[in-house]
């Protein structure tokens, strides 16, 4: 390690007992100061830690006076002798020592910052975003940025060792057709024409496979001009990967290995082997394509055990091929009326739209109580409970609706119960594959099959036979990695065959002209010998967020944008001169 000794011989996180007696120089920020009688103590902070500086009025009054005048966040350089502390601080790695300062220089003064540089800061999010450069001084934020860097390092270590070549693809490209809206960049040299920023390097990485690069990766900035509801950013980071001469299993093994490597390197956690959960099972048991499996609580079908009563709700659902199903909330039999009402409101909320919630409480005393007491005898209710493994002390909550809605609502309710009942061990990790996604999905309005992924995703070879007769039955060679209920990877085996690609374009209803305009160069490339290939992309921001224990991806992005797409610190986007617009051939509306 190169060292320079002008501004510092050590960082503020480095000194221990073995340095006692040596003279050192430290630089950093004045984090906190305390005057105690004739002594002044200063916590000097840098990214590496905090070291205590000591000034003594008796031995050096001028220096001590100078130290007392230092404001918060002043940048200083101090020299002195490392000394054992009389009262040690076990909370600090440097807490055994302090520096008796004999030389002090103010490198830069500071105005009083708008909030404190502590993990529990007094600054709200808007203020912290406006002064992001100060927000990033907080130890928590610095640790998050370092975690992010360490994860990238572990990712590269693994991929380099596996023979992946890091290739940079361009950011000024042609408008691509991946669903979301492109950010456009007007061209000055060819006024009236536009570049687009990449939504992902999808096409380019497939062309790299055509070019024989074999194994590719890139830590890629991607851009999507979407409305920023939820936890999205207009620019975000993907770990983008592609491999030639592979089947699904090869991709799964490779990136399961990578994920385990990163967990081991960064958190010293040995993840168990990932299960490969078929999409249909994920939907059936958890009502979600990205279930959180840190707790069990499966959705259980009840059609077979709830028939034959006078209960109209069930009978209508059963008659119309709907689904009655429930989840068992262990230990919740004593839920109050108010609590049950809250759950009912939850399932009836507009984004879920269930008609209501039915419950059966199996009390500790052996009695049973239900919102359908009128239609079922206690024995029938006990039998329903037995069929799903609900015992004394448990609550069975039931939804009856169209199958898709029943599963979705119960999937959401499952997560809600986990939150209410603290079912999730905060230190647990649930990481696994969801596989066998459908190639098509029914259009929300017409019910017609529409493509569920990008148009380069290969159908499952076992299901080719249903392509025309029963397209909704066709599985794609498409997969996600799910981490604690978040999709953090999405990928597929791609179509490498020109004829199959043409067929898919036809099913998607692209005209020859549209196909040529949007994918012409790609279709052309595939004429010259494309290898079988597939890959994936990790949503890196989300992965870092999960590992950092953050609440939003903004917590792990150094300079994020707010929900209006604004960078509050830089005040971007901003106005530009008319001249700047004129030379790129556009004007404001």
Q: Considering beta carbons, is residue 218 or 430 the nearer one to a copy of itself? A: 218
514 binds a copy of itself (CB under 8 A): no
The interface region with a copy of itself, picked from 242-250, 279-287, 324-332, 504-512 by CB under 8 A, is: 242-250
CB atoms within 10 A of CB 304: 9
DSSP assignment letter at 546: H
List 83, 89, 171, 315, residue binding a copy of itself (CB under 8 A):
171
Q: Considering beta carbons, is residue 232 or 290 the nearer one to a copy of itself? A: 232
Q: CA neighbours within 13 Å on the CB side: how many for 187?
A: 12
List 83, 116, 142, 303, residue binding a copy of itself (CB under 8 A):
142
527 binds a copy of itself (CB under 8 A): yes
Query: Which residues ranging from 35 to 94 are in contact with a copy of itself (CB under 8 A)?
Result: 45-48, 73-75, 77
DSSP assignment string, 156-179:
HHHHHHTT-EE-PPPSSB----SS
Q: Considering beta carbons, is residue 385 or 491 the nearer one to a copy of itself? A: 491
List 525, 536, 545, 546, residue binding a copy of itself (CB under 8 A):
525
246 binds a copy of itself (CB under 8 A): yes
472 binds a copy of itself (CB under 8 A): no
d(CA 523, CA 24): 65
List 102, 225, 421, 555, residue binding a copy of itself (CB under 8 A):
225
List 2, 337, 338, 426, residue binding a copy of itself (CB under 8 A):
2
List 16, 88, 188, 404, residue binding a copy of itself (CB under 8 A):
188
The interface region with a copy of itself, picked from 129-137, 319-327, 373-381, 432-440 by CB under 8 A, is: 129-137
Query: Exposure pattern of 124-152 as b/e (b: 16+ CB <10 Å)?
Result: eeeebbbbbebbbbbebbeebbebbebbb
3-state secondary structure of 329: strand
DSSP assignment string, 29-63:
EEEEEEEETTEEEEEEEETTEEEEEEEETTT-HHH
Label the pairing between strands 165-166 and 215-223: parallel
d(CA 66, CA 170): 54
Q: How far is it between the farthest Cα atoms of the chain?
A: 94
Q: What is the SS3 string spanning 191-223? A: CCCEEECCCCCHHHHHHHHHCCCCEEEEEEEEE
The interface region with a copy of itself, picked from 226-234, 292-300, 319-327, 417-425 by CB under 8 A, is: 226-234
What would the x/- binding string for a copy of itself be over residues 283 to 322, using CB under 8 A? ----------------------------------------
Residue linked to tokens 């009083």 = 112
DSSP assignment letter at 129: H
Length of the chain: 589
Q: Considering beta carbons, is residue 144 or 298 the nearer one to a copy of itself? A: 144
The interface region with a copy of itself, picked from 225-233, 273-281, 387-395, 502-510 by CB under 8 A, is: 225-233
276 binds a copy of itself (CB under 8 A): no
What would the x/- binding string for a copy of itself be over residues 199 to 218, using CB under 8 A? -----x--xx-xxxxx----
d(CA 97, CA 88): 7
Q: Considering beta carbons, is residue 304 or 588 the nearer one to a copy of itself? A: 588
424 binds a copy of itself (CB under 8 A): no
Q: Decide: 528 and 210 in contact? Cβ < 8 Å.
A: yes
Q: Which residues pair with 217 in a beta bridge?
A: 166, 241
Q: Considering beta carbons, is residue 10 or 298 the nearer one to a copy of itself? A: 10
What is the radius of gyration, based on Cα positions, of the chain? 30
Q: Considering beta carbons, is residue 346 or 559 the nearer one to a copy of itself? A: 559
Residue linked to tokens 């001009």 = 225
Q: Considering beta carbons, is residue 368 or 435 the nearer one to a copy of itself? A: 435
State in angstroms the smallest separation of the CB of 117 from a copy of itself. Answer: 9
Query: Which residues ranging from 109 to 128 are in contact with a copy of itself (CB under 8 A)?
Result: 109-111, 113
555 binds a copy of itself (CB under 8 A): no
417 binds a copy of itself (CB under 8 A): no
């Amino acid at each position: 390690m190169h060292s320079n000794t002008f501004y510092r011989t050590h960082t503020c996180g480095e000194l221990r007992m073995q340095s006692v007696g040596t003279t050192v120089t430290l630089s950093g920020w004045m984090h906190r100061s305390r005057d105690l009688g004739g002594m002044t103590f200063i916590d000097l902070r840098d990214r590496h830690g905090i070291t205590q500086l000591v000034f003594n009025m008796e031995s050096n009054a001028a220096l001590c006076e100078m130290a007392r005048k230092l404001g918060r966040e002043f940048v200083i350089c101090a020299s002195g002798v490392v000394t054992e502390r009389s009262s040690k601080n076990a909370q600090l790695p440097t807490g055994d020592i302090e520096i008796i300062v004999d030389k002090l220089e103010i490198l830069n003064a500071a105005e009083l910052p708008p909030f404190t540089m502590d993990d529990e800061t007094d600054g709200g999010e808007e203020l912290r975003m406006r002064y992001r450069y100060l927000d990033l001084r907080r130890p928590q934020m610095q640790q998050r940025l370092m975690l992010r860097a360490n994860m990238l390092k572990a990712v590269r270590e693994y991929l380099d060792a596996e023979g992946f070549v890091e290739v940079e693809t361009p950011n000024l490209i042609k408008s691509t057709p991946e669903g979301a809206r492109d950010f456009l960049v007007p061209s000055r040299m060819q006024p009236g024409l536009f570049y687009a920023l990449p939504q992902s390097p999808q096409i380019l990485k497939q062309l790299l496979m055509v070019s024989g690069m074999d194994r590719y990766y890139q830590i890629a900035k991607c851009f999507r001009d979407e409305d920023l509801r939820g936890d999205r950013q207009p620019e975000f980071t993907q770990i983008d990967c592609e491999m030639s001469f592979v089947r699904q299993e090869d991709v799964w093994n490779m990136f399961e290995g990578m994920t385990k490597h990163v967990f081991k390197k960064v958190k010293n956690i040995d993840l168990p082997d990932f299960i490969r959960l078929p999409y249909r099972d994920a939907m059936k048991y958890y009502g979600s394509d990205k279930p959180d499996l840190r707790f069990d609580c499966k959705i259980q079908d009840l059609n077979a055990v709830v028939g034959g009563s006078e209960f109209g709700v069930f009978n209508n659902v059963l008659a119309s091929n709907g689904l009655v199903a429930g989840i068992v909330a262990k230990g919740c039999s004593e839920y109050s009326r108010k609590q049950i009402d809250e759950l009912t409101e939850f399932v009836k909320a507009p984004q879920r739209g269930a008609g209501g919630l039915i419950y059966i409480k199996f009390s500790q005393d052996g009695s049973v109580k239900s919102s359908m007491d009128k239609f079922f005898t206690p024995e029938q209710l006990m039998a329903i409970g037995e069929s799903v493994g609900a015992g004394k002390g448990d609550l069975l909550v039931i939804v009856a609706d169209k199958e898709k809605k029943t599963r979705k609502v119960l999937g959401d309710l499952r997560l809600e119960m986990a939150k209410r009942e603290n079912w999730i061990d905060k230190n647990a990790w649930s990481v696994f594959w969801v596989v066998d996604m459908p190639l098509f999905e029914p259009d929300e309005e017409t019910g017609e099959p529409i493509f569920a992924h990008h148009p380069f995703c290969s159908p499952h070879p076992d299901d080719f036979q249903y392509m025309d007769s029963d397209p909704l039955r066709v599985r794609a060679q498409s997969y996600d990695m799910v981490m604690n209920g978040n999709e953090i990877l999405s990928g597929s085996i791609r179509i490498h065959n020109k004829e199959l690609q043409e067929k898919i374009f036809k099913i998607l209803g692209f005209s020859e002209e549209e196909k040529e305009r949007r994918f012409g160069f790609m279709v052309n490339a595939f004429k010259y010998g494309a290898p079988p290939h597939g890959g994936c992309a990790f949503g890196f921001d989300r992965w870092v967020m999960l590992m950092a224990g953050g609440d939003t991806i903004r917590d792990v992005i150094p300079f994020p944008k707010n929900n209006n797409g604004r960078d509050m610190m830089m005040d971007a986007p901003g106005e530009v001169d008319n001249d700047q617009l004129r030379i790129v051939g556009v004007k404001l509306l």
